[in-house]
Amino acid sequence: MNQCYRDNIILLTVLIPAYNAADCLEKCIFSLLPYEYPDSDRLEILIVNDGSKDNTLNVATELAERHEQIRIIDKENGGHGSTINAGIKQAKGKYFRIIDSDDWVDSANFIKFLKLLNTTDSDLVLTDAAYEFIDVKALRPYVSYDMEKNVTMSFSDILKKEEPFSKFGPVLASSTYKLCKLQEAAFKITEHSAYVDMEFNAFAIKNIDTIIYFDLDIYRYMIGREGQSVSVQVWMKKYKEHESILFNLIKYIENEALPDEKNAYIINKLIAPMVDSQVFMYDQICKLDELKEFLKKLAVHENIYATSMSYIFGKNGDCKTILNQLDSYLPKNNNGPIIKTLVSVQNSKDSETKDEYHKLQLFHYIKKAIKCILPYGVIRLYQKKKYGF
């Protein structure tokens, strides 16, 4: 049995990053308070107030006065990553997990989880999660695993399988880590940035040796709230942060002496999907020149580039279309995203619009073929003679 932790009285620390969360914090906290759990003193709820400008700190203080499981860290604003850094440093539990303040847990399943958690010593514990929509009562699966239940397994052996996880590996909403393993990894999540959950998903597995899966649907991830990071308006502000986090992950695996299977997992399950998302972001915010520069920068990392392209083209989705059309001419009267343009052309009843588009496409491919055949110098002489530049 791995005895890296102290003889913890507290079984689990739940970190609640809270920024301007006064309206939703109580719901999150009340879902966690285990009134039916006999050892409720073995739970620590650690609220990190990240420099909120609303009444978050007062709400947290009132909750802490009524419930001894709650402890508060009040700090200057540093972003989601800074709350994770502070939480890992100050947590007291044997295990550690994160619940965002505008999300919550299924209380009945959370009590079952605490009881099962008391029976294991695995480094990483996986559970399921579901989407819950503001205007829809029905849940939709978010993260689920097709794994053997309640059995401690070698994390390395899991990762060495051809398909270690169907869609998601360990992600923030599904993962509970042994605290000492996170502290020993000595990582620091980027502060003042969005998308840092991807760093946590990658950095947290560094020292993980064993894993167990409990078939419990615990996390409730709210969809539809204002300001979520999945809209064009948000992407316009934060697309560079997404790119920066992506390259942080690349730097991490290139600098850390991780086992091959962990490197492969981070590339295949974290970095490649992020590349796919980045390509889509650039198209949706109409920054195709920056997309080309991004691809050039990524291509320096040959293995990661190849894996990411394989992922995108194997997925056969929008990003495959975007990359195939990236160097093509688009209709002159449309400066919108490639995907939107193609849909508009396909749905257009104007045959002239379709003919113009197809002529421009044909011209592009002829031009590309000529470049492949003729030396570049010959083409430049022809251009200079005809066009004067």
Q: Is the dihedral of CA 171, 176, 181, 185 positive or negative?
A: positive
Q: Residue 2's pLDDT is what? A: 46
Residue 388, Ramachandran bin (φ over 0: left; ψ between -120 and 50: alpha; else beta):
left
Domain ranges of the chain: 12-228, 233-325, 338-387
Q: Residue 114's pLDDT is what? A: 95
Fold of 12-228: Spore Coat Polysaccharide Biosynthesis Protein SpsA; Chain A (3.90.550)
Instruction: Enumerate residue ranges in the chain where pLDDT < 50.
Output: 1-2, 329, 331-334, 342-350, 353-354, 357, 361, 363-365, 367-372, 374-389
Q: Residue 325's pLDDT is what? A: 86
Q: Residue 327's pLDDT is what? A: 77
**Cβ-contact 81, 190 below 8 angstroms:** yes
Number of neighbouring beta carbons within 10 Å of residue 195? 21
For tokens 């990582």, the residue is 187
Q: Residue 355's pLDDT is what? A: 52
Distance CA 19, CA 78 (A): 10
Q: Which two tokens stand for residue 355?
A: 């003919």
Residue type, 389: F
**Cβ-contact 239, 281 below 8 angstroms:** yes
Q: Residue 225's pLDDT is what? A: 56
- To the question of pTM greater than 0.75 for the whole model, the response is yes
Longest dimension (CA), the chain: 87
